[in-house]
Structure 1
């Protein structure tokens, strides 16, 4: 299940003051105004009146399942600062701990076996093994697994591990976004069927002044 582990907010005061620029002649006289921010922030999405929300930057650490990122990455200003890496560390993770509750245990076992033998290749500094060397294959029906005596290279085994990772595999990433993008996300995902989006939207609504700046109901 998705979890927002921690976050920081930057630029709120500057952004709220900047919301007064369109109607200002002397910018030195612009003051911080919650009232102005509340009115402009609640404007219809796409109208441009709420654009000051772009200046309220949010950086957060998110624990996420892989299936969530396919939808998160569609947003224009919701970028990934850095993340844990399957390419570098997939064979070092504890797979049971990294997978959410909906991943079938059999899938985890299959990948664990592949990781186990990949790490043997790493330790022994060999580039291939024969599948018949895998002790777990003794329990398999060779008609079901006709490749039971074929050679497996370390490269192929790594690609099998990466390709077989379930969408419920969870990692952490640092993201950067802003209140304007989060306003759009909330409108589109608040009632999404994925519980992860509902958790994320609950977090959005908990951010300082978010409801006040973006919804008429909060006025």
Structure 2
């Protein structure tokens, strides 16, 4: 399970102005921001942006200046793969170390959507075990109990991070992960495809 909330795309106007710097072609710029504060590509700018994106990394530098922020909630096993993409991305996460004991453990805290019934039964037992340890820790503040929660915690446990990345990061992740075994990556790639003008700039990016 993975969710994307509070997605925001920023700096398209400035990025596109910068894309016209090499040829001093600012007069041909025809994009604008509408009364809702949304960036709208003009035909001239969109055609230029498409050509630059298809010309390769050296030519599409402007997309590195288009920024995305989003709150992603995903299981730890997915975050371990996301953490491969350290260059140009930033994330602030909720704290497992400081807040693991702050609320009861429940099914909604874990990804169980692809488990066979036998695994679900084992997971329910694990959740109950973690909750019993948590309750004892709340009573005693015994650090050994806190360690027990940390070391027992399954990789299916959900963590929320506020992430920042660029369109360059997004297309790199899409290309690397759109055929991945994990359904969470397919959901990520579909979210990427829904970003403003993403499919126009990268026609190969289709929902998977």
| Residue of structure 2 in register with 1:100 after alignment | 111
Aligned-residue offset at 1:62:
0.9
Aligned to 1:13: 13
Residues 75 and 111 in structure 2, CA contact (< 8 A), matched pair in contact too: yes
Alpha-carbon offset, residue 116 of structure 1? 2.2
CA contact (8 A) 1:65 1:171 kept: yes
Q: Which of these two proteins has the greater Rg computed from alpha carbons?
A: 1
Task: Please say if 1:41 is aligned against 2:57.
Answer: no
Superposed displacement of residue 94, structure 1: 2.6
1:216, distance to aligned residue in structure 2 (A): 6.6
Residue equivalent to 1:84: 94
- Note if 1:116 corresponds to 2:128: no
Shift of residue 30, structure 1, vs aligned partner: 6.1
- TM-score normalised over the length of structure 2: 0.79
Per-residue displacement from partner, 1:128-157 (whole Å, max 9, x unpaired)? Answer: xxxxxxxxxxxxxxxxxxxxxxxxxx2222
Asked if the contact 1:111/1:161 (under 8 Å) is kept, the reply is no
Matched, 1:64 2:74: yes
In structure 2, the partner of 1:184 is 172
TM-score by length of 1: 0.75
8 Å CA contact retained: 1:17, 1:30 = no
Residue 172 of structure 2 aligns to a residue whose secondary structure is helix
Query: Secondary structure at the residue paired with 2:126?
Result: helix
- In the alignment of these two chains, the number of paired residues is 185
| Deviation at residue 213 of structure 1 after TM alignment | 1.7
Q: Deviations over 1:39-65 (max 9, x none)?
A: 112233xx3111110111000011111
CA deviation profile, 1:113-136 (whole Å, cap 9, x unmatched): 34424433432xx46xxxxxxxxx
Aligned equivalents of 2:148, 2:127: Cα separation in 1: 8
What CA distance in whole angstroms lies between the structure 2 residues aligned with 1:28 and 1:49? Answer: 17
Please list, as runs of the form range in 1=range in 2, the aligned pairs for 1:185-200 lying within 5 A after superposition: 185-200=173-188
Structure 2: stretches of 5+ with no match in the other structure? 31-44
Deviation at residue 100 of structure 1 after TM alignment: 1.2
CA distance in 1, matches of 2:199, 2:60: 13
Post-superposition shift, 1:28? 5.8
